[in-house]
């Protein structure tokens, strides 16, 4: 079967360290931490009192009051980032065949704040207290639906849900659609808005999050010996994908190419990583095989790197098993040290970072590495960005339930 090359021609990002893709990139290079005390609700009774929130977010800057009331923030974030990506792509909305535009944008949890608020309303007011928009605001697939409705895209429209691997899985599915000719264009990525009362309480109950309340900006510290859990984040990352020859013909700016991907399962535990890393190894090896490259061709990996005691070591060991001695020669990083863990948006936001590292020839740092864990002994690009020609970059994303996804991005070759 003949296949087509798939390139990225538009990028959108709404993150705790930048409300657009260029601002996000500048935030990464400056080593900005998005963690700050929670101001969306009173966190006094919570073990963790901070998160990586989108600073000074006002939905009325983007939506009218009526529309904002009918959109959970997870959909708002995705719409904002997708609008940016579409504009950035330069696609002519008047002439493209909208029947051939796929929208594959996922969320790991969906409308969490809507679920909480409507549950409270049901408790206080009974069934009549529930808004008729409750279900449409809650369901994960509504994110793709809203993007489709907003722009009139009539191609494939749905999402995959795989917890913190969601963004990457959706990009991979969209990549296949372009590669095999199902669609000509795709809007794809992930979105999440979990900084809610029930979200923070839930992750605290799992003992998964940092409780460094005295110094939030230093709390997300992947690979550091003193890490004590992840920092909850939010936001959205969106790509516009299209076939290379068509993009070239219309004179599009091309950020880079998707070379391949790999998926797998740990088949081990609902939350803990497999200490042997068998599933993660399968995903990375599968991505390398799909891209048709050798381990030593990879220059950079944007790691899942959540800042959890077990996860960082397990991923590090898996990389060493796949890449051997070359593992020590690559520049690795975890941009979660700045954005926090954005759950279903993580794979997409971090893929934006990996692709921009190729495009700009610069690898963002992992901040807050002050006392590197001896068990995490690779080059994590500590605290300062590194200028480097990156031909191939990899992004890892793993989700509760043992879901693994690895994407490989390639520098454009004419």
Q: Which residues are catalytic?
A: 164, 304, 341
The CB density around residue 289, as the number of other CB atoms within 10 Å, is 12
Q: Give the Cα-Cα-Cα angle 308, 313, 318 (nearest 5 degrees).
A: 130
Closest alpha carbon to 209 in 92, 66, 50, 70: 50
210-249: b (≥16 Cβ within 10 Å) or e: bebeeebbbbbbbbbeebebbbbbbbbbbbbbbbbebbee
CB-based contact 34:233 (threshold 8 Å): yes
- The beta-carbon contacts of 213-219 under 8 Å, at least 24 apart in sequence, are 213/48, 213/49, 213/50, 216/33, 216/35, 216/36, 216/37, 216/50, 217/33, 217/35, 217/36, 218/33, 218/368, 219/35, 219/50, 219/307, 219/368
Residue 32 CA to its chain's centroid (Å): 17
Q: Give the Cα-Cα-Cα angle 48, 52, 55 (nearest 5 degrees).
A: 125
DSSP for 77-131, please give it. HHHHHHHHHHHHHT--TTTS-GGGEEEEEE-SS--HHHHHHHHHHHHHH-GGGS-
CB-based contact 178:243 (threshold 8 Å): yes
Residue 35 CA to its chain's centroid (Å): 17
CA-to-CA dists, residue 188 to 78, 111, 112, 407, angstroms:
10, 18, 21, 14
């Amino acid at each position: 079967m003949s296949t087509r090359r798939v390139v990225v021609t538009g990028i959108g990002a709404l993150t705790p360290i930048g409300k657009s893709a260029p601002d996000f990139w500048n935030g990464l290079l400056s080593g900005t931490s998005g963690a700050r005390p929670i101001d969306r609700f009173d966190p006094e009774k919570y073990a963790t009192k901070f998160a990586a929130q989108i600073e000074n977010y006002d939905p009325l800057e983007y939506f009218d009051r009526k529309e904002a009331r009918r959109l959970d923030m997870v959909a708002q974030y995705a719409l904002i980032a997708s609008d940016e990506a579409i504009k950035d792509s330069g696609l002519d909305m008047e002439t493209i065949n909208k029947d051939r535009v796929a929208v594959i944008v996922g969320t790991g949890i969906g409308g969490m704040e809507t679920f909480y608020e409507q549950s409270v309303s049901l408790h206080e007011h009974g069934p009549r207290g529930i808004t008729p928009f409750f279900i449409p605001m809650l369901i994960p697939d509504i994110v793709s639906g809203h993007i489709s409705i907003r722009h009139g895209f009539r191609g494939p429209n749905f999402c995959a849900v795989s917890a913190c691997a969601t963004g990457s899985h959706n990009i991979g599915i969209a990549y296949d659609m372009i590669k095999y000719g199902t669609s000509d264009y795709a809007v794809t990525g992930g979105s999440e808005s979990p900084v809610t009362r029930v979200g923070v309480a839930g992750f605290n109950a799992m003992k998964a999050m940092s409780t460094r309340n005295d110094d939030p900006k230093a709390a997300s510290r992947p690979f550091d010996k003193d890490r004590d859990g992840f920092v909850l984040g939010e936001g959205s990352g969106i790509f516009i994908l299209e076939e290379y020859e068509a993009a070239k013909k219309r004179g599009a700016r091309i950020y880079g190419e998707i070379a391949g991907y790999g998926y797998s399962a740990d088949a081990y535990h609902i939350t803990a990583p497999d200490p042997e890393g068998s599933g993660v190894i399968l995903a990375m090896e599968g991505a390398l095989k799909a891209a048709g490259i050798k381990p030593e061709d990879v220059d950079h990996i944007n790691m899942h790197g959540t800042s959890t005691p077990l996860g960082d070591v397990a991923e590090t060991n898996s990389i060493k098993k796949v890449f051997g001695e070359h593992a020590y020669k690559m520049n690795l990083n975890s941009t979660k040290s700045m954005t926090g863990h954005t759950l279903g948006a993580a794979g997409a936001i971090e893929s934006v970072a990996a692709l921009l590292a190729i495009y700009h020839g610069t690898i963002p740092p992992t901040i807050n590495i002050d006392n590197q864990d001896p068990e995490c002994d690779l080059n994590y690009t500590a605290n300062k960005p590194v200028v480097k020609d990156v031909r191939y970059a990899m992004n890892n994303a793993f989700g509760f339930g043992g879901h693994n996804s690895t994407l490989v991005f390639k520098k454009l070759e004419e």
